[in-house]
Amino acid sequence: MYRACAFEKEPGSCNLFCLRYIEDYIFNSVASPDQIGAIVIEAIQCDGGDVVPADGFLEGLEALCRKNDILFIIDEVKIGFGRTGKMFGFENWKLTPDAVVMGKPLGSGQPISAVVGRKELLNAGIGLHLFTTAGNPVACAAGLETIRIVRDENLTENAKAMGDYLKTRFNELKKDYPVIGDVRGKGLIMGLELIEDPEKKTPASDMAAMVVYRCYELGLLLFDSGINSNVIELTPPLIITKEQCDQAIEIITQAIDDVLSGRMTMAKLSDFAGWAT
């Protein structure tokens, strides 16, 4: 059982069941291709549980879109601009999206978003980009400087190197802590799936909430994600160092120990009910 898969299939042996599900079931029973204008998908699913798609899935999904005249749009709002070890997450696969949606990391905290796409798509109408913060010169300047820094300071390379290091360390930690059911991610988007039972892999939602809160008390900001809120998500700054990675792992380890030993309880989260769980 693999909780990153909605169909509970094992990675590497499912023959891309999810892709066949779209073509054989969704297109035939839910919405026919002529009713679908576009498919919008994250290159790596973040809030849904930090799910890295199986090799071949995104390429297959793009092929389905081309076959059925459906626009193939990639959402890079969270993982764009270097986080995955590439400038954009979709560049980890051989893809040519019709449009790419960008946002948060582009402005380094300034309110800015953008859509880049084929000219025949973006020139199809006028007045399509009207909202309060459009054309903000300060945010645009921040966006240009962000792109320059990511490029000139080799932050994509650092994201890949530090991401590989974190994944190695977390997989070592997984051997000592059966409550860590899975370690997944690419570059500096990382997810630790917490489980109650190593055999059934029952989602440990309360445990995740307690670990997140205990990490906060210890000085590390994280949050829980996934459909069961049992995946600890790490999206550290692209400038993170190996020493800072080690410090984060130390805090996470202590937080898990404190939860397992009973030193951290759900009672401490009572003021945050409805938010932390």
By mean pLDDT, which of 84-98, 118-132, 227-241 is the weakest? 118-132
Residue range 209-257, pLDDT digits in tens:
999 999 999 999 999 999 999 999 999 999 999 999 999 999 999 999 9
Tokens 């000139």: give the residue.
152
79 contacts 43 by C-beta, under 8 angstroms: yes
Alpha-carbon Rg of the chain, whole angstroms?
20
Domains and CATH numbers, the chain: 17-152 (3.40.640.10), 155-272 (3.90.1150.10)
What letter does residue 219 receive in the DSSP assignment?
Answer: T
pTM, two decimals, is 0.90
- Would strands 231-234 and 180-186 be described as parallel, antiparallel, or unpaired? unpaired
Q: In what order do the strands lie in the sheet with 223-225?
A: 180-186, 189-194, 231-234, 223-225
Q: How far apart are CA 11 and CA 186, in angstroms?
A: 16
Q: In what order do the strands lie in the sheet with 114-117?
A: 38-42, 71-75, 99-102, 114-117
- Would strands 189-194 and 231-234 be described as parallel, antiparallel, or unpaired? antiparallel
Q: How far apart are CA 59 and CA 77, in angstroms?
A: 20
Six token digits for residue 225: 């994600």
> Average pLDDT for residues 41-63, to the nearest whole number?
94
For the chain, give the percent of residues with pLDDT over 90: 78
pLDDT at 92 over 80: yes
Residue 129, pLDDT score: 65
pLDDT at 168 over 90: yes
